[in-house]
A and B are shown apart, each in its own frame.
Chain A
Amino acid sequence: MNVVPRPHNVSELVERALGGHEPARRQIVEQLSRRVRTIALSILGNSADADDAMQHIFLELFQSLASFSGEHLAPWADSIAVRTAVRHARSRRVRSARDACVDPEELSAELTTPAGHGVPRALVEYLAELPETRRVALVLRHVLGYTVEEIAELTDVSPNTVKDRLVQARAQVRKTLRRDLALLPSGARRNHE
């Protein structure tokens, strides 16, 4: 059996990838793709855009690989993913127009099956309804677990602005969720007096 040895540490992996070693690049993509795509999907709100953005993210990531000097790829990749996904979101403002064109008859056939965990719609839909700045703050805080100060640094705003965005984002998600629960009830209304 022909086994290609995998690099033992990150710097070796990066070295090889920079040297054009395809298995090393593949390993990096496989290591990070799940995380990077989740970030992209959280920020962009739909699968097609997330996949497009993912390609840009990895392209940027490999172009910046020479500047990588840490011990872990994930945090470094996160910041690239966030920046690239935000840029991608700004370049794509067609979602609302596309939604407006949905055929009502087709809609009637496309019913959501509520998720089994008590949230009427997919998380990604709640995120997609948020303005970009709030969505990014929420994703960085809740999905990636950054502190308010770290988010402020990543997004070039003050910590107070981040706090404000987070509170607004949470309030908006809360409002949407409760509206959904009222419209797609599962016993919630009776107990939410």
Chain B
Amino acid sequence: MNECLTWAALSDKTALGGSLTAEERLFVRSHPSGCAACASEATLWDDLGRVLDEPERLTTKPTGSTQAPSRRGFRQFVAWGTRARRPLVAAIVAASAAAAAAAVSWGGASDSAAPRRLASASGRPRSLAPVPLGAPNGARLALAAGEARVNQRAAVAGERLETGAVLSVAVGEACVLVPPGVTVCIDEGTELSVETLDAGTRRFRLHRGHAVAHLERQPVGSSFGFDTPAGSVVAKGTVFSLRTDESAVSLRVHEGVVLNDSGTRTNSYQAPSVALLSYERGPSVVTDPTMSDARLVELAKYFTDRSNGVLMVTAAAGSSVGLGDFQLGVAPISALVQPGNYRLEVSRPGFAPIVERLAFEPDSRLARAYEATAELHTAVGDEAVKAPRGALSESAATLLDRARELRAAGRYPGASATYQRLLREHPGSAEARVALVSLGELQLSQLGNADGALRSFDGYLRAGGPLRQEASYGRIRALRALGRLSEARTAADAFISAYPQSVQAAALKKDVP
């Protein structure tokens, strides 16, 4: 967050025409590659700067053939392609001819040339095509990562879940496709069962844990929902999450509208909203219902009815499996994959990643197994290609970019290793200095390595630079995490007097240990 504030300030400065130092420029350029929020913002400003050349950047790009409408009912269905433009151009020319003639004959008196109102060529609001009827009934497991079980047996992607089947996840994640157009994902500690798979009323029962459902627009008369201790929760086209510990149920609606029928009344919840549906057994013990849906939403949007190949990967415990840019989860893993060419990457902290190119034909099935020795080696599988060890000649910028990519993908140990390699191989570079603060944040926030974080922040502060404020604040947090409260207090006092107006100073004042 601290780096983000700095980035935003520097970005604003640039936008106002201000100039930056070389190090600031480097920071502005490199920070977004490790921070998804700032990356999105950078993309937004960048896109805005290109809309004159590429007007389609102004409007949502559909991923399918149908123009996507707005989430908020803001109905600009802008189809500004050639076909949409031609009639408007003709109309304008016709009108302008009349106006020009009027202007000439009336001496250009603009108030005399009342503009003719022309038919708008813009698209009328139109609905997205619903998922076609006739998709096969039934539910299929799309992802089993870690310890996922169906009816107490190890779950495998592709297997069908019949009515009454119980899916549970002890460690990792699992997703289920419920055609047409519904994907449900769950994570650790969750158990659900399939109540009915009738096309009109498909229902799961969420016994405990956390589930996210992503629904494409459903055919008329068809819905999907969960039975919960707080009644049914039903939707027709939306993204929502439910979390229950059997005594309370929390609902978070990310997109669209969800109906909750408690048995005595029906409530409608429109995105964005969070609701606690039941207090029946005392105060809610649902924790943090707003914060941790991101991963499951990501998964639920990834798997679709078109996912039909099966990929199975086994590897040493703690190995992460990525397919293309998407992080599938932890091994052992089985997943449904859409046809196409992919880059499979299996990584494990302390080992070089294994990378393999895979081509999925429709309904194909590929199995890979890897075991860890000094490096991760392919044990089973055809044409597996071991990842080349990174060449020493890689530039500091390349390493920094890669570390930030790994961090953005949630692959923190890999990111840490890459930052450290950058520090080792390019110790005097500006990238290495920036990396010290990023590494410190990573060690402190994600890797539980306060000791290492303190060394990283101290390293940066010895050299100095524009991230001094962030490094100082990180150092205080690291000292606190290490229990060195007296030093932390002294450092906090120094920080508050050096940066009295900063957000961090306010937090420190409020949060004196």
Contacts and interface: CB of A to CB of B under 8 A. Distances in A.
B188 interface: no
A55 B48 contact: no
Contacts of B409: 187
Interface in A109-130: 109-126, 128
Given A63-B108, A185-B298, A109 B16 contact: no
Interface in A94-146: 99, 102, 104-126, 128, 138, 141-145
A187 B45 contact: no
Contacts of A64: 110
Contact of B40 (A33, A102, A112, A119): A119
Contacts of A29: 89, 92-93, 96
A114 B446 CA distance: 28
Given A118-B39, A186-B298, A111 B128 contact: yes
Nearest to A126: B44
A158 B71 CA distance: 37
Given A63-B110, A113-B63, A170 B76 contact: no
Interface string B45-85: 10111011001011111111000111111111110100001
B408 A111 contact: no
B452 interface: no
Interface string A159-179: 000010011001101100110
Interface residues of B, number: 100
B89 to A, nearest CB: 5
B151 interface: no
Contact of A33 (B39, B78, B92): B92
A46 B441 contact: no
B74 A54 contact: no
Contacts of A113: 60, 62-64, 68
Nearest to A60: B110
B291 interface: yes
Interface stretch (B201-209, B264-272, B311-319, B456-464): B264-272
A82 interface: no
Interface residues of A, number: 89
A50 B51 CA distance: 15
Interface of A is mostly: helix
B74 A46 contact: yes
B43 interface: yes
B255 interface: yes
A38 B44 contact: no
Contacts of A186: 36, 294, 297-298
Interface in B380-414: 407-410
Closest 6 interchain pairs by CB? A102-B73, A185-B294, A113-B68, A188-B36, A112-B71, A122-B60
Interface of A: 17-18, 20, 22, 25-26, 29-30, 33-35, 37-38, 41-42, 45-48, 50-52, 54-56, 58-66, 99, 102, 104-126, 128, 138, 141-145, 147-148, 163, 166-167, 170-171, 173-174, 177-178, 181, 183-193
12 contacts: A59-B96, A59-B115, A99-B73, A107-B257, A109-B127, A118-B40, A125-B74, A128-B74, A143-B52, A148-B17, A163-B16, A190-B410
